[in-house]
């Protein structure tokens, strides 16, 4: 989600929401994903905090949080979702 979408969802001011997202990014709770070409940045929740399932579609969603400020007590070994051959 973009900062604007999150602000609408939370019914908050976009500037205030951006400040909160910056602080959460510094703590490793979320990460900012730059989409380039003038498109809005998106924010992603740390998979070590909020993830449900046994496999993950894109293992890069795990790798982006390897060197962040948040360190989980228990290291979770994620597995890539196997591709389905058609």
What gap in Å lies between CA 49 and CA 29, rounded to an integer?
A: 8
What's the whole-model pTM score? 0.68
Q: Mean pLDDT: which of 24-28, 37-41, 71-75 is highest? A: 24-28
52-78 pLDDT per residue, tens: 667 777 777 777 777 777 777 767 777
The residues spanned by each domain of the chain are: 3-71
Q: What is the DSSP string of the chain?
A: -BHHHHHHHHT--HHHHHHHHHHHHHHTSEEEE---TTPPPEEEE-TTTS--SSEES-THHHHTTTTSS---SS----EEPPPPP-
């Amino acid at each position: 989600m973009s900062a604007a979408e999150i602000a609408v969802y939370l019914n908050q001011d976009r500037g205030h929401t951006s400040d909160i997202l910056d602080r959460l990014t510094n703590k490793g709770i979320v990460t900012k994903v730059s989409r380039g070409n003038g498109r809005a940045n998106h924010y992603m929740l740390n998979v070590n905090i909020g993830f449900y399932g046994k496999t993950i579609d894109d293992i890069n969603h795990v790798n982006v949080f390897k060197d962040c400020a948040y360190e989980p007590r228990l290291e979770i070994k994620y597995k890539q979702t196997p591709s389905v051959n058609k």
